[in-house]
Structure 1
Amino acid sequence: MAHWNHILFGDLIMLQRLVANELVSVETTILEKLPVSKSVSDTFASNLDELSELRELVDSIYIEITNQFTADSCNQVLRYTTTEGLVIERTVGEFCQHIFNHQTHHRGQLTCLLSQFGLDFGCTDLPIIVPEGART
């Protein structure tokens, strides 16, 4: 569960940074359902049921906020302090690239682990799992 919690840590802290910079709009009632991400060692879910519920909520928020982005909003500058104390400034577009690269990197690691245990991790072909992104 530690690896899954790490992915959630990244998603939650990045979402907190977008909200704190007032670059996305998320209803307060939805934000209140989320745990606050503070440390890379945070534990948000201790079993697959908890993980699934939280993952679905976080993913739905990311879908909602990415639908809000425009070319102009992706060029706005976001400023935040890392957990190591570094002050970073990036455009929203660059920041989001980091969010999704972080997810991809760690989900790839999980896929490798599942494969090593002989478990079927399902299809990973983007045009098949996200058909609305396919060209017609």
Structure 2
Amino acid sequence: MSRHQHVRLMASYNAWMNAKLLEAALELPEAELIANKKAFFGSILGTLNHLVVADTIWLNRFAGHPARYSALEPLVSLPMPDTLDQMVCPDIFSLQARRKLLDDIILDWADAVTEADLDYVLHYANTKGIPADKNFYSLVMHFFNHQTHHRGQITTLLYQVGIDMGITDLVALIPDEL
């Protein structure tokens, strides 16, 4: 599997898992979604919001790639978050809509990324304004690993309130090789 194909696989896995998480979260009353569970971002809704915030920040950084991915153009209409714990979506329904928009953007962007694009050194500044110059492919893998990390926290929080997410492993989407 090429790196480009791996990026596309990770984008598919991301969209699949986010849809599963939101479907499960929609079963919960609002009080359960906003209850402080002492997770990194407090609640289930807080952690889901963190993923939206981080994805928005990283995708905007990726828009600085010289490939000028047209799939990232819809980001222009989204406000840039101020903090990593910002509640950009105050309820599960607005979060569901934003998550769907971001996942569609990610899927389209992943289709557009080429092998050559992945060798680029991306110049960006972190949320504290510190400049960085890092390999684009490594950043893309970080982007997807970050999502997986926090989705694992959310699946644990959901399990604690009685919701079993079932299969969540990437291996479920990795095609068999002939």
TM, length-normalised to structure 1 = 0.86
User: How many Å separate the matches in 1 of 2:103 and 2:89?
Assistant: 15
Once the two structures are superposed, the pairs formed by residues 64-83 of structure 1 within 5 Å of their partners are 64-83=108-127
Aligned residues: 133
Following the alignment from structure 2 to structure 1, what is the Cα–Cα distance between the partners of residues 81 and 103? 16
1:91 to 2:151 alignment: no
CA displacement at 1:36 relative to structure 2: 1.6
Runs of 4+ in 1 over 4 A off after TM superposition: none
Does 2:167 align with 1:123? yes
Structure 2: state its 5+ residue gaps.
1-44
1:7 pairs with one of 51, 54, 59: 51
Q: Could you report, residue by residue, the CA deviation over 1:72-107 in whole angstroms, capped at 9, with x for unpaired residues?
A: 100011111111232111121011011001100000
- In 2, Cα distance between the equivalents of 1:51 and 1:122? 22
> Does 1:30 find its partner at 2:64?
no
Identity of aligned residues (%): 31
Q: Does 1:114 align with 2:155?
A: no
Q: TM-score, normalised by structure 2?
A: 0.67
3-state SS in 1 of match to 2:63: helix
- Greater shift, 18-27 or 69-78, is seen at 18-27
Distance 1:36 1:84 in 2: 14
Q: Provide the alpha-carbon RMSD of the alignment.
A: 2.0
AA matched with 1:64: D
